[in-house]
Amino acid sequence: MKPWLGRIERGVGLLLVLLLSAMVTLTFTDVLGRRLFNTPVFGANDLTEHLMALIIFGGLPLLTARRGHLSVDLFDRWLLHPRWRLWHKAVDVLIAAVLGLIAWEYALAVPEAMAINEVSPALTIPRSWMYAFMAFTSALSAALALFTAAPRHEHLSEEAPS
């Protein structure tokens, strides 16, 4: 991996950890205020919703680049055989298509959210920027799904049945 890509990955990872820490702190403070002082943090639901979207969609490209999506390894003994490389590429294309569709839908939501001035209920935070962020990171993840290295087939090729 190129050194600058590693720095970007570490920087984004650090930012995600800070966002998650902020969300945990906010939730803890909200629950504490609600239970002990009967005074919840105003707008905590709005902030938590936006932080959650930033964390999930901010981490999506990192997860995709590392091929970290949920997978079942029940059939790896057979599917990681070199003859299944085309199958793995087809799965990568399918994943990219689904992520591309998600990006497309969020991209369509941006102008609509701007037109109707869609905002969060309590703090009136505009939603269009969040939809644009989700569209961008989904599109980036779609591209990464196509160009990330496929799983290694060689390590199981000797022991896999023919």
CA-to-CA distance for 121 and 109, rounded, in angstroms? Answer: 18
Q: Which residue type sits at 14?
A: L
Assess if residue 98 is contained within a domain.
yes
Q: Is 119 helix (H, G, I), strand (E, B) or coil?
A: strand
Assess if residue 23 is contained within a domain.
yes
State the average pLDDT over residues 87-99. Answer: 91
- Please state, as a whole number, how many other Cβ atoms lie within 10 Å of the Cβ of residue 4: 8
In tens, the pLDDT along 18-35 reads 999 999 999 999 999 999
Assess if residue 112 is contained within a domain.
yes
In this structure, what token pair is assigned to residue 133?
A: 């962020």
Assess if residue 162 is contained within a domain.
no
pLDDT exceeds cutoff 70 at 151: no
State the average pLDDT over residues 124-138. Answer: 97
Predicted pLDDT of residue 112: 98
Instruction: Find how far residue 77's CA is from the centre of its chain.
Output: 28
Nearest residue to 68 via CA among 151, 155, 140, 10: 151
Structural domain boundaries enclosing 51 = 3-157
> How many domains is the chain partitioned into structurally?
1
Assess if residue 87 is contained within a domain.
yes
